[in-house]
Structure 1
């Protein structure tokens, strides 16, 4: 029998306040998944990026805080990271293995940076990765819009290679049935 967790990566105040692509749907969908996971008894894990002194994601600052609409409650575990991948130089893999986790439902920011590195890191570690649609986001850059980056990574890079990108209703059903 498989055992899953919901992972919320870098949904931090400074990033949300910069208004990434589709932010309202993304935050709403992540909140729905968190609520469903808590109701079903599925563990919700958080990953929080510390980008160093003087950055908008400096440890302990307001911008570093997990955005209130997706924030952890009392005993939910938060992993701090300094690199794009939530697996690089953290205790995440050891923790997941100690809990016999084999499936990660992955959500968060930014699509082409920490989400991509964490998705591929999870895949390399042998986890099944599920990415619910409209639960990750990013910003426009000099080359592509946030929307195009979202579409490219979700449907051309991740889906059926490193992860299964699925409709949120299907993932909510998985969460309800898993635990």
Structure 2
């Protein structure tokens, strides 16, 4: 089953700025770097050996806001991605979004992915209960299998609950909708 890796909203404002980043930004940045590196290595190995890889593409999702709505304004430093697609690499793509659900912001994305043989979305990123959960739910609604990478998504504490509690709640809600929740290390270990 061919899969696309979704890297959701790992942007400076949320992941690197000391004043605004989520509490577990360093965990997301470290796991994200390892996940993307392993994904690129798997894609390259498949190409070098002229074999088929389960992973077919990496989709970098970048949230955009109007200045009056937030800091993720196109072209601004907070909006920039921590991890970017490799220039000229057809196996990687950048997708902008304006709503929490990547598929809602990009109505043709599901059919484009399906046309290229993608049947599963593997997701990680920021924020768990916002764009990560909404994009995973959107992928399920569009008919994809979904795997959420546990340990590689997080959010802000919300006053009543710590980020880790919110992460677990999102995982449970997505499980109930039919998603798989797997530690990111297990998924990455299976790619070679």
Structure 1 residue 71 and structure 2 residue 91: aligned?
no
Give the aligned CA root-mean-square deviation in angstroms.
1.5
Residue 36 (structure 1) aligns with: 38
Query: CA separation in 1, counterparts of 2:22 and 2:75?
Result: 22
**3-state SS of the aligned residue for 1:141?**
coil
Assess if the C-alpha contact under 8 Å between 1:119 and 1:162 holds in 2. Answer: no
**3-state SS of the aligned residue for 1:37?**
helix
Assess if the C-alpha contact under 8 Å between 1:120 and 1:162 holds in 2. Answer: no
**3-state SS of the aligned residue for 1:142?**
coil
**3-state SS of the aligned residue for 2:117?**
coil
**3-state SS of the aligned residue for 2:103?**
coil
Runs (4+) of structure 1 exceeding 2 A deviation are 159-162, 173-176
Residue 148 (structure 1) aligns with: 165
Residue 139 (structure 1) aligns with: 156
Residue 47 (structure 1) aligns with: 61
TM-score, normalised with respect to structure 2: 0.84
Q: How does 1:3-152 map to 2 (within 5 A)?
A: 3-16=2-15, 17=17, 18-41=20-43, 42=55, 43-54=57-68, 55-67=70-82, 70-74=83-87, 75=89, 76-90=92-106, 91-152=108-169
Query: CA separation in 2, counterparts of 1:98 and 1:62?
Result: 34
Query: CA separation in 1, counterparts of 2:72 and 2:173?
Result: 27
**3-state SS of the aligned residue for 2:80?**
coil
Query: CA separation in 2, counterparts of 1:49 and 1:59?
Result: 9
Aligned length: 172
- Structure number with the higher strand fraction is 2
Assess if the C-alpha contact under 8 Å between 1:111 and 1:137 holds in 2. Answer: yes
TM-score, normalised with respect to structure 1: 0.89
Larger radius of gyration: 2
1:145 CA drift (Å): 1.6
1:28 CA drift (Å): 1.1
Residue 167 (structure 1) aligns with: 183
